[in-house]
Structure 1
């Protein structure tokens, strides 16, 4: 039996002197010593450093670029082969140009086939343009370093393992599993004989505290789905 608790929280790194979620208040750090949350060094937020970290791990769109490059190269080779063979007096005619020109000369702009082909070509071009302009999700989880020249990233698998371990440290948790989907961390702890709503809040607090300790650049929501162990 699984119970769903849709309430979500956003991970926020505590400011100096503030308490992490569910933790005791901390006094101001000594000069030159950064504050710590859960044993992890906290780094002051720097927007330039955050942007550099996100850009560093952003996908390069290699697959769409390779596909377009290969298609353009094949098209260029085809045009070159047809041109050279035509100049030599022995055209290859790999493409039926005569029939294509005849069809184009006898087809009206309002022809459904012509409109359909134009729409498909426009959609393909728009999809390629959006793919090139819209940034993709980073392959790593960027974390704050405080320096634009120092780029730090964590593997998503390492992050989910750390968050699952944090959930397992809550009393009553037999096991836990964590996954990252976009900006949401889904945690599934297994327990038995507990107040599910209060238990979910304790797990959420523990996971948020560990997230704050990891100090990610981007905010993450935490969704807890308590699974009853039979």
Structure 2
């Protein structure tokens, strides 16, 4: 099995150097950013969980505060026992250390969830206009790239999958020079990928599978 890797190169702006070209380049970059933002997946589930927890905490604090001001504290939370435990428990206590680690890990998990982008449902395509947002479904992109690989002479079938920022193409052939064959499939897939004009660059890997 032979593997090859090649990256899609971003389209370069012709080096004309005039103000019109600079304006067009700025407009293209603005359009790319708008497309990426439009199709960026939202973190709804973590946001809902955090919002509910903060709402419940706020309601609890408000209820305890109002009831204490009225002279009849609810004491839904055993503050006295918690305060006594905190005062009498040293920092080196295993239970305190474990509780601190759990809280820190939960906070870190929420932070990572908020910062790390998820897999978008649509792949943004360059339009050159910030007001025009175009996207392709990942399945449509992989199907188009697999079809491009199948157009190479000698390919019986091909399959393409999207893994992060890498498109893995697996063509099936028999009786060919695998090294040369992988390069031809690379060229065909990258040509089709460049034709799609996606905003974000993707690497392409080809693993030739010999058909028996």
Task: Please state which band the TM-score falls in when normalised by the shorter chain.
Answer: 0.7 to 0.9
Matched, 1:107 2:96: no
Matched, 1:169 2:167: no
Structure with the larger helix share? 2
Provide, for residues 76-126 of structure 1, a one-character-per-residue CA deviation record: whole Å limited to 9, x for no partner. Answer: 3344455566657484x5544443233122112332322232232223223
Which sections of structure 1, spanning at least 5 residues, go unmatched? 18-42
Matched, 1:154 2:136: yes
Contact 1:54-1:138 within 8 A present in 2 as well: no
CA distance in 2, matches of 1:51, 1:188: 32
Contact 1:13-1:213 within 8 A present in 2 as well: no
Which sections of structure 2, spanning at least 5 residues, go unmatched? 15-23
CA distance in 2, matches of 1:125, 1:81: 26
CA shift in 2, pair 1:59/1:109, >3 Å: same
Partner of 2:7 in structure 1?
10
Matched, 1:47 2:21: no
Aligned length: 201
CA distance in 1, matches of 2:5, 2:83: 61
Partner of 1:24 in structure 2?
none
Q: CA deviation at 1:203?
A: 0.8
Aligned counterpart for 1:63 among listed residues 45, 51, 55: 45
Contact 1:46-1:147 within 8 A present in 2 as well: yes
CA distance in 1, matches of 2:78, 2:106: 24
Q: CA deviation at 1:53?
A: 1.1
Contact 1:49-1:148 within 8 A present in 2 as well: yes
> Over aligned residues, Cα RMSD in angstroms?
2.7
